[in-house]
Amino acid sequence: ADLAISAADVAEVVALIAKGELTDKLARQVVEALINGEGSVAKIIETRGIKVVSDDSSLMAAIERAIAAAPDVAEKVRGGNIPASGALIGAVMKESKGQADAAKVRDLLLKHLGQG
């Protein structure tokens, strides 16, 4: 069976994940587009506007909005309830449409709330 995706395409996607330029979710979008014949990895990323949001300033702005929307949850995290941070991380990921690096969001959020 002919696959619409080459080993080189897979290697390129894996390399972008390793460099932090794609999250798992974004990589799935790229692979689906490759299978659908939408072009090269670079073309798909450019056409669809796929990129990981990893600069601290835009992540912090989203974190601030998540905290403002759920101050009670933020207070729990400040009090040491680290698992409660999942709701805030989820809000940031939703706002970024999955383009934020979840691990980085978690680190920044916990530091911001005095738990990092």
Q: What is the pLDDT of residues 88-97, one digit of tens each?
A: 999 999 999 8
Would you place residue 1 in the very low, low, confident or very high pLDDT band (cuts 50, 70, 90)?
low
Q: In DSSP terms, which residues pair with 100 in a beta bridge?
A: 53
Distance CA 34, CA 43 (A): 10
Q: Write out the two tokens for 81.
A: 């309830």
Query: Is 56-112 in CATH node 1.10.10?
Result: yes
Residue 89 contacts residue 102 (beta carbons within 8 Å)? yes
DSSP state of 84: G
Mean pLDDT score of the chain, rounded to an integer? 91
pTM of the model: 0.72
In tens, the pLDDT along 64-86 reads 999 999 999 999 999 999 999 99
- Domain range annotation of the chain: 7-48, 56-112
3-state SS assignment for residue 91: helix
